[in-house]
Amino acid sequence: MYATPRAGVGLAASGQLRGVLHDLDSETLARQLARDLSDTPAGRIPGHGSQAGAMEDIIRRSLELVRNWLLSGQEPGGDVLSDLYEAAREAARHGLAAEDAIRACCGAARAVPSSVTEAGLPEDGAWPPPHLEVPWAFLDIALTTVTRAFADQRDLPSADGDSRAATLFARICARSATTIEDLDRAERLGFELAGPHCPFVAAIDGGSAAAHAGLAARLRSAGALACTQGHRVAGLTGPGFDWAGFLDDSTLILAAESATGAAGLAEAVGNLHDLVTLAGRAGRRGRIRADDFLTELMLANSPQLAEDIVRRVLGRLDAEDPSGTLSQTLRCLAAHGFNRTAAAAALPAHRNTLLYRINRIEKLTGLDLDRHAHRELARLAVVWRDTTGGDTLARPE
């Protein structure tokens, strides 16, 4: 079905189509689409248990299904579709709505032909017809698969009012004009829509989706606007909300802001998501404040600058030393305040070996690690690399 190439289509165009499809970066495209399709604010630091991650997984699998269908000319079989089915069930467990999962599939179906079109027309002036037909055929299959997955997941414990709260929360963060439906949602939830509002994000360490649904329900009963976002709960409270009873749970991670104006809500919630991610990685529990991870949050708020710093400091080290010895040495130095004795003991390495590595690091990067400004630049590079998924070295006590 929809084989490539088809009769009447030039071999050059078919070959160019295959080249474009082989070069398609599904990982990067999935991340971008997930951000574009998200209705609620999300953090910029990769973390476990987010709805954005569940949506990204559906998009990634959908992109691969469409691409492989175009390349092989074969409609995907049941064994292949089972991956999309499981991704959809996982999304349901994370509290993603079925319509959002379907939006993810639609986004992927549009993205593949868009990527082909952006590559420019082939020499004969036309792409093979399948690149237009396959995405639509995929949507028929995806709709059935996702609908069945969500239906099969209906036994997932859910909190009453969670969907209503999620819709209202997204609309408030998006600064949408208040509608009669919004007023009705707020009244049903017992939430004061007029504000002022204090945003929060909370997570239960090791908690299931059901546990987070239960937490959201308890928060709503206490007067908060709370909805599950995967293995997290996010929402808004009034300024006088009492968190004491919830913080009695030693597994709770809570990041909460003071009253925030409507214009700053989305950014504040994104920062709180990042704060919960950082706290979870560091093994922190209880109420977490921005001061605890100020450097990481500042870098997350300037991601392009952060990446430039990483390339400036660690790019040459990665290129010239694939073993990672030099970058690990710099990480250890930064973690120990550039105290060479402490770093040599932690690696472990002979002091002369450490001095040799420092000389190589300085030669490759152009840094002078005796200068405070250059040390700070190196520290920022290491912090951001670790924040976004590098090998983390334990900080000294």
Q: Per DSSP, what are the bridge partners of residue 260? A: 197
Other CB atoms within a 10 A radius of the CB of residue 377 amount to 17
How do the pLDDT tens digits run along the chain, 397 residues long? 444 444 444 555 566 667 767 777 777 777 777 777 766 666 667 665 556 677 788 888 888 888 888 877 788 887 778 888 888 887 776 667 777 888 888 888 888 877 777 666 555 555 555 556 788 888 888 888 888 888 776 544 444 578 789 889 989 998 889 999 999 999 999 999 988 999 999 999 988 777 888 899 999 999 999 988 778 899 999 998 999 999 999 999 999 999 998 888 988 998 999 999 899 888 999 999 999 999 998 998 888 899 899 999 999 899 899 898 999 999 999 999 999 999 999 999 999 999 999 999 999 999 999 999 999 999 999 999 888 765 333 333 3
Residue type, 324: G
Q: How far apart are CA 8 and CA 120, in angstroms?
A: 20
Q: What integer pLDDT is reported at residue 9 of this predicted model?
A: 46
Q: What integer pLDDT is reported at residue 341 of this predicted model?
A: 94
303 token code pair: 């991601």
Q: How far apart are CA 129 and CA 73, in angstroms?
A: 12
Q: What integer pLDDT is reported at residue 396 of this predicted model?
A: 32
Residue type, 186: A
Cα angle for residues 125, 129, 132 (degrees, 5° grid): 110
Q: Which of 165, 134, 151, 167 is nearest to 65 (CA)?
A: 134
Q: What integer pLDDT is reported at residue 13 of this predicted model?
A: 54
> What percent of the chain is helix, strand and coil (3-state, nearest 5)?
60, 5, 30
Which helix (H) or strand (E) covers residue 237, if one does? strand 233-237
Q: Where does residue 95 fall: left (phi above 0), alpha (psi -120 to 50 degrees), or beta otherwise?
A: left
Which helix (H) or strand (E) covers residue 234, if one does? strand 233-237
**Residue 297 Cα distances to 46, 130, 217, 270, 380, angstroms:** 13, 45, 29, 10, 11
Q: What integer pLDDT is reported at residue 391 of this predicted model?
A: 37
